Structure 1
Amino acid sequence: MRKFIKYFFILVVVLFHAVLFAGINFVFPHYETTYVTGVEVKRVDKDGPITKSNPEDGPTRDVYYIYTQRTDEAKPTVYRNEDTRWGFPFYFKFDSAVQQARASGFAQNKKLVEVKYYGWNIVMFNEFRNVVSMHEVDEEQVSHPILSWIFYVLGLLTMFFSIQFIRGWFDSEA
């Protein structure tokens, strides 16, 4: 029975850290070097973009979308471009219209840009990454999500020490 409880606590620690790592991956910024191929504005409600199959059924808002294409991939990537304002995650982004205008200029001039974004791209649920900023770059210029890496390492350390504590606690009482 003690062995079962020990492995249960270890499982809880691992699951807690898995959720923590997913949160870090979702909230912290990532970077992608790509070409902007187009922009669009769609009217959406709580169920997603308004279409014939999804009629308007509540408050609506305009959402900007930015379409990109990486040189090494065949599939395009879609980003949404919404303000975070004062809400979570705290990027304090108030310039989505300006970002949309810049993206349109990048698309017309076929410029290579670095997109800073957060979130996940889950097409099945109409969930797209949100653009935080974008700027023109050279091909050899690459940014790295250093803050995310720091939090991943801290998470791995806390997971390791938590598991060691649980193992030591149960093994010392045997």
Structure 2
Amino acid sequence: MRFLKWSVLGTLALLVFAFLHYTLPQTDIVRIVGTENRRMDLGENAWFWAAPDVGTGSGTSRDIFFINAVYPDGKTMEYRNEDTGWGWPPYFKMDSSSTNTEAKEMQSTAAAPKWVAVTHYGWRNQLFTIFPNAISLRQVEGPDVRIIPWVNIVILSFLAFVLFMLWRIWAQFKERMIEPAVIEAQETLDDLDRRADRAKAGMGGWFRRVFGRK
């Protein structure tokens, strides 16, 4: 049972971590090398994509903006640039066209680089054709600039506070309601056992008196 308990808790913790890692904003320092507009046919991976841009029609095939970038170490990255609208996650992004224009303005070459902080959510996975969604862009001084994730700090601190309060509520409920009930039930069972023992002893005495057993 202990192994099953920790397996369930570990699985739940892994799912929560994956959800938060996918949903919470992350920031990359990159050099934008190009933008493009692709016609994408969404299939089994459709739930990794945002809703169609606000004001456009729905469907599994649509045009999507992409931002092509390069990390300081030379590795490449592609971001999709989609509106999130009023859906999940709640970034309320409705300016993908403006973001696309900003990305074009911030393009640069290796000889004269412009370093850009790309705030995004999501993962990049080539096997399942998944791209992180760029939320905002801003030019920074260099590739070594330090970005403090204030939003994540606030959200995670709030979640930790909520979990602590839920744990305290459960601990008080357990102390005031469950443990007394368990103790009372155990005392009742013990009392029943004592009565059963007394009844058994009395019955044994009766048999000894009736049949003359010693």
- Range of TM-score over shorter length: 0.7 to 0.9
Distance 2:160 2:60 in 1: 41
Distance 1:121 1:26 in 2: 10
The one-letter code of the counterpart of 2:35 is: V
Report matched runs for 1:157-172 at 5 Å.
none
In structure 2, the partner of 1:23 is: 19
1:60: Cα distance to partner?
Answer: 2.0
Distance 1:59 1:128 in 2: 16
Distance 1:141 1:82 in 2: 26
- Name the structure with the higher strand share: 1
CA RMSD of aligned residues (A): 2.8
2:127 to 124, 129, 136: 124
Distance 2:76 2:151 in 1: 27
Distance 2:17 2:67 in 1: 27
Structure 1: gaps (5+ residues): 49-57, 166-174
1:11: Cα distance to partner?
Answer: 1.4
TM-score, normalised to structure 1, is 0.74
Say whether 1:148 aligns with 2:149: no
Distance 1:145 1:11 in 2: 31
In structure 2, the partner of 1:7 is: 3
The share of aligned pairs that are identical, in percent, is 30
Higher RCO, Cα 8 Å, sep 6+: 1
1:131: Cα distance to partner?
Answer: 0.1
Structure 2: gaps (5+ residues): 46-58, 172-214
In structure 2, the partner of 1:103 is: 103
TM-score, normalised to structure 2, is 0.61
Who wins on radius of gyration, i.e. which is larger?
2
Distance 1:147 1:134 in 2: 16
User: CA 1:147–1:17 in structure 2 vs 1: closer, same or farther (change >3 Å)?
Assistant: farther
Distance 2:122 2:96 in 1: 16
- Name the structure with the higher helix share: 2
Determine helix, strand or coil for the equivalent of 1:98: helix
Determine helix, strand or coil for the equivalent of 1:89: coil
Report matched runs for 1:30-49 at 5 Å.
30-47=26-43
1:10: Cα distance to partner?
Answer: 1.7
